[in-house]
């Protein structure tokens, strides 16, 4: 088989990585636009209910649909690398995904009174949007896994941008006076997976799975060999959900929807830079992976890349902290409207926590590249448990301040743990272009959604 000239594959992979990074970054900015427009055009309670709907949806789909996404990305990558057909993997993945979607749909119906009456403030419309989104997002995650496993990163970037763009369009329509009210904006949450129902099948046609080499068709379909890595990445994703989405849900449990909307906006001080940073994170892992397997010179470049990224994060975080102290409340009012009163201390706490969080994200990518996925997962799990436990302590400040302090403290703890693991990890790392690398790239892309 013709492998092409040396360096051709690396250059091609670099181009697709750049496109995916750009797509991930744009997807994150469109998500930020959705919430900015929603906050400006809804009252505090209605906006808070949108935040609760969003948080509940994305925590659930991360748990429900990530396993099949990981299964497809790994299995398809392995079988294509071996010259085997991938049609059976696509079919089995579809059956599993359908079963998961039906299961979670049934659970949502079974717990309707709790979800609709308590979580969603009695709104039947928001409840049905939640149910539809949880089920329909299965198609999106299935498509992401298939595209990533087939190395169709450009199509994956297009899918992410289309989903976020469709969501932002509904908020924009309300801002322009074309539509009005909470329902119009809430429909944007359902619009993203609806796009996948249309774009997904078209993207799958582009895969054109081959039949493979006759002598290699006996390769196992199971992704068991990489199950540990996939499980570790899933724990990391759940940890990130706790850091970025648990706060609004806890505030809704402690107080009302308006309080959830307030703390969501405050956490946007961290979330917005994190969304933008995902464009860097998506490309950082494959770069570090290649440096890791390049020998002594690669190790030097590996450490240099980490130092440079951490210095950039520190400078950026310092700038954001200074801005929050100087004009933070005014910036928040410009971005989200004047329905909430923001204090400089709370904004500064979250900004400092953002610096630690981005440091942890950088070190997490380095740890994955060094083949220490399980150690990274344990760090994220400990950080998330600490954050949730702290937020549940009723005798420490008020609810909002607990979340702000907890985010800073948990992010600092996470950064310290990952620093320790990073210094101890000396494994061989993930093989370039392997299923593990593709899975980790996909996980980085998912973080931005």
The DSSP code sequence of 398-424 is -HHHHHHHHHHHHHHHHHHHHHHHHHH
Residues 199-223: pLDDT tens digits?
777 766 766 554 444 334 444 444 4
User: What confidence score (pLDDT) does residue 166 get?
Assistant: 92
Q: Whole-angstrom Cα distance, residue 391 to residue 369?
A: 32
Average pLDDT, the chain: 79
Euclidean distance between the first and the last CA atom of the chain, given in angstroms as a whole number: 38
User: What confidence score (pLDDT) does residue 114 get?
Assistant: 87
pTM of this prediction? 0.72
Q: For residue 153, what are its two tokens? A: 């990163």
Q: Whole-angstrom Cα distance, residue 311 to residue 291?
A: 19
User: What confidence score (pLDDT) does residue 221 get?
Assistant: 46
User: What confidence score (pLDDT) does residue 212 get?
Assistant: 41
Give yes or no for a contact between 356 and 414, defined as CB atoms under 8 angstroms apart.
yes
Residues 72-91: pLDDT tens digits?
776 776 677 667 777 777 88
User: What confidence score (pLDDT) does residue 83 get?
Assistant: 74
The domain ranges of the chain are: 8-447
Nearest CA among 108, 100, 120 for reference residue 186 = 120
User: What confidence score (pLDDT) does residue 63 get?
Assistant: 77
* Sign, CA torsion 270/271/273/274: positive
How many other β-carbons are positioned within 10 Å of the β-carbon of residue 253? Answer: 15
| Residues found in the chain | 449
For residue 26, give Cα distances in angstroms to 107, 157, 240, 269, 448.
Answer: 34, 9, 20, 18, 9
> Mean pLDDT in runs of 10 for the chain (449 residues)?
44 57 79 90 90 87 78 72 75 85 88 88 92 90 83 80 91 93 93 81 63 42 51 78 84 80 86 68 60 62 83 91 92 84 91 94 82 85 94 78 92 95 71 61 58
Residues 249-282: pLDDT tens digits?
888 877 778 888 888 888 888 877 776 676 566 5
């Amino acid at each position: 088989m013709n492998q092409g000239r040396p360096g051709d594959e690396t250059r091609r992979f670099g181009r697709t990585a750049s496109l995916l990074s750009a797509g991930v970054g744009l997807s994150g900015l469109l998500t930020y636009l959705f919430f900015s427009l929603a906050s400006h055009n809804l009252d505090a309670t209605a906006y808070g209910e949108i935040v609760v709907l969003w948080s509940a949806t994305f925590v659930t789909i991360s748990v429900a649909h990530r396993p099949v996404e990981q299964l497809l990305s790994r299995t398809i990558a392995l079988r294509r690398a071996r010259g085997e057909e991938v049609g059976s993997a696509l079919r089995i993945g579809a059956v599993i995904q359908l079963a998961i979607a039906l299961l979670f749909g049934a659970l949502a119906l079974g717990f309707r009174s709790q979800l609709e009456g308590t979580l969603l403030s009695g709104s039947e419309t928001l409840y049905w949007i939640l149910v539809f989104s949880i089920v329909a997002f299965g198609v999106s995650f299935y498509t992401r896994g298939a595209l990533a496993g087939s190395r169709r990163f450009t199509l994956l970037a297009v899918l992410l941008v289309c989903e976020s763009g469709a969501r932002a369009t509904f908020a924009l329509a309300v801002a322009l006076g074309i539509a009005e009210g909470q329902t119009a904006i809430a429909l944007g949450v359902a619009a993203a997976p609806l796009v996948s129902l249309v774009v997904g099948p078209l993207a799958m046609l582009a895969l054109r799975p081959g039949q493979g080499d006759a002598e290699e068709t006996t390769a196992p379909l199971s992704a068991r060999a990489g199950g540990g890595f996939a499980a570790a990445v899933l724990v990391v994703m759940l940890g990130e959900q706790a850091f970025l989405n648990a706060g609004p849900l806890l505030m809704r449990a402690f107080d009302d929807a308006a309080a959830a909307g307030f703390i969501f906006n405050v956490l946007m001080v961290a979330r917005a830079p994190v969304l933008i940073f995902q464009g860097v994170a998506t490309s950082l892992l494959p770069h570090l992976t290649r440096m890791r397997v390049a020998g002594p010179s690669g190790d030097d470049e590996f450490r240099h890349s980490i130092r440079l990224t951490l210095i950039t994060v520190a400078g950026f975080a310092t700038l954001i902290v200074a801005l929050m102290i100087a004009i933070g409340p005014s910036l928040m009012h410009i971005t989200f409207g004047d329905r909430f009163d923001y204090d400089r201390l709370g904004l500064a706490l979250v900004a400092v926590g953002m610096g630690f969080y981005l440091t942890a994200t950088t070190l997490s990518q380095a740890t994955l590249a060094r083949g220490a996925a399980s150690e990274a997962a344990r760090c994220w799990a400990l950080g998330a448990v600490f954050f949730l436990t702290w937020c549940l302590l009723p005798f420490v400040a008020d609810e909002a301040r607990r979340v702000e302090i907890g985010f800073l403290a948990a992010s600092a703890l996470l950064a310290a743990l990952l620093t320790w693991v990073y210094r101890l990890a000396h494994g061989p790392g993930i093989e370039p272009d392997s299923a593990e690398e593709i899975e980790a790239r996909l996980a980085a892309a998912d973080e931005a959604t």
